[in-house]
Structure 1
Amino acid sequence: MMTMAPVLLSLLFLLGPAFLQEAQTDHYSLTYLYTGLSNPSEGYPKFWAVGFLNDQEFFHYDSESRKAEPVGPWRHVEGMEDWDEESKLQQATEDIFLDTLQDIMDYYDDSNGSHTFQGKFGCELQNNGSSGAFWKSAYDGKDFIEFNKETPAWVPLDPAAWNTKKKWEPYVENVKEYLEEECPDIMQRYLNYSRHILDRQDPPSVAGTSHSNIRDDVIILCQSIHIYPEGSGLKWTLDC
């Protein structure tokens, strides 16, 4: 009967230098996701915000705690952010966000059930120096409004969004400045503190098990966790 040793050795070999050479980080991104609920279920906050560096969550805020707090390995990074100030910023954002959700519900005269308003914005930085930015929102899962930084202007994607556009239009230049200047600066500052986390190229933790069935077929299961960096893949071979 086949043993696990040749299989796991083959897998671990493939997760060595060749794995690290193929998995190179070629870009960085800073993304914020906001969610507001008009009638949250028990145990859910009315509003929460999550920040991501690349695909890794680095802070969380919700309307229950009213605190922005680092998560994961960023709990151990000192000086990256003034979390008391960040909490105040997220509290102000929460108020604006939930007010906008209420405006939309008033427009549609619909206070029944639970409705959601979501926002996603941030910026990206390529290794070649180019950058990009985005800001868009959705109501009940459908596109609602997005920011065009070239015009610049808010672009309504829903009838109710015209009212939101009127409220947000006076701050168009502020939003453009944030996306094109402040966001990349913030991301660069964050990278100074946490690039070593994002650029991790450690082989993942691998665990394997096997068992045979009544036909003496061997079934092999492999689980891998803690894969860095983003977009990395795994390959394995079976040496019979």
Structure 2
Amino acid sequence: MELCLLTLISMTVIGAHCDSHTLRYFYTAVSAPGSGLPEFSTVGYVDDQQIEHYSSDTGRDRPVAPWMNKEGQEYWDGQTQLSKGTESVFKHNVRTAMSRFNQTGGIHSFQVMSGCELRDDGSTAGYNQYGYDGREFMSLDTQSGLFIPTMNEAQLTTQRWNSPEVREGERSKNYVENICIEWLKKFIEYGREDLEKRVRPEVKVWGRRQSDAATRLQCLVYGFHPRAVDVRWMKNGVDHVPSDERTPILPHPDGTYQMRVGVEVPTTEEDAYSCHVEHSSLGEETLIVIWEPDNGLSMIVIIAIVGAVVVIVGALGVGIFLLTKKRRGYKTASTSDNNSDSSNTPKA
């Protein structure tokens, strides 16, 4: 079997911005029913807000973010038809990938993440990645416009896509660097009020003695928007204490974000420690919360806050793989063995 190319126009999305914004589409196909997932699904995001969804169970592409209703019914009908075509391609892809790995049964997944980023300074980035069974399969190098295999089983695909006859990398490069950016700008305009709202962070600090000589301090920053934030521990208000524990910035169910930063410090009453937070909602102000050994934040409250984030992240993560790379976690990639136009996603 060959990997085939497939149109990615439905994955694209276009105005102005205050903070960096991203547009990402996640495609997932599974080899057989019984996994708890639809056999094929597409999920689109602007930043961390889901904007649209297609599932083989419903057979319809539908808006998720309310402001995506600014696109009329003709748009959603068109997206549905494109998604149906994508579904057939991905079902082919997962079977092809299984044959490459000499697999004849079981439940397997074939996944793609494609998208772009528009940064504060007007610069852009694109990424297109392919995965099989949770591992990276191949990706697009946007500098050269060539697909790079990350496992031996992907070499046949990359050789074909990089050939002068197919040149899929050039089309994918044009999509992530140009077409995707225009759609992202458009969607930013649709959801600007929501995407660029400013919400001040809440901060909770607590400590737990690890031993007679050491105490671990935690700073939980939550309920803020937009995503970018700087959190650090300071000693006596002037000396930065390097953190040895820092969670990713995670989305909350209400559309805000949270993160936690931990440090280990000597158990002593001579020094004062404080958590310093800088965020765009604060303007020039730095939010400072001093840790006091007896400030006694209820662990029930902490667990409730963190637990809510775990639930939402788990929900967002169903059917989605994220291939971790440099450059803010993104890297460029593409998938399939047949011809496609400048916005195509190939078959596996």
Q: Indicate the TM-score class for this superposition, using the shorter chain for normalisation.
A: 0.7 to 0.9
Higher helix share: 1
Q: Which among 148, 154, 179 is matched to residue 182 of structure 1? A: 179
Query: Alpha-carbon deviation of 1:238?
Result: 9.4
2:67 aligned with 1:74, yes or no? yes
Structure 1 counterpart of 2:339: none
Q: Aligned partners of 1:199 and 1:118: how far apart in 2?
A: 30
Contact preservation (8 Å) 2:22, 2:46: yes
Query: Alpha-carbon deviation of 1:178?
Result: 0.6
Query: Alpha-carbon deviation of 1:159?
Result: 1.9
Please give the TM-score of this superposition, normalised by the length of structure 2: 0.51
Q: Aligned partners of 2:92 and 2:27: how far apart in 1?
A: 14
Query: Alpha-carbon deviation of 1:203?
Result: 5.3
Q: RMSD of the TM alignment (CA)?
A: 3.0
Please give the TM-score of this superposition, normalised by the length of structure 1: 0.72
Pair 84,159 (structure 1): closer, same or farther in 2 beyond 3 Å: same
2:194 aligned with 1:194, yes or no? no
Structure 1 counterpart of 2:37: 44
Contact preservation (8 Å) 1:154, 1:172: yes
Which sections of structure 2, spanning at least 5 residues, go unmatched? 1-16, 203-220, 230-257, 259-276, 278-286, 296-348
Query: Alpha-carbon deviation of 1:92?
Result: 1.8
Contact preservation (8 Å) 1:80, 1:189: no
Q: Aligned partners of 2:102 and 2:124: how far apart in 1?
A: 41
Q: Aligned partners of 2:88 and 2:194: how far apart in 1?
A: 33
Counterpart AA for 1:181: N
Query: Alpha-carbon deviation of 1:54?
Result: 0.6
Contact preservation (8 Å) 2:19, 2:196: no
Q: Deviations over 1:28-76 (max 9, x none)?
A: 000111111112326521011111101111111111112111114335x
Contact preservation (8 Å) 1:80, 1:193: no
Aligned residues: 200
Within-5 A mapping of 1:66-145: 66-74=59-67, 77-79=69-71, 82-145=75-138
Counterpart AA for 1:78: K
Q: Aligned partners of 2:83 and 2:76: how far apart in 1?
A: 10
Counterpart AA for 1:63: S
Structure 1 counterpart of 2:57: 64
Within-5 A mapping of 1:151-190: 151-166=144-159, 168-169=161-162, 170=166, 171-190=168-187
Query: Alpha-carbon deviation of 1:109?
Result: 2.2
Q: Percent identity?
A: 28
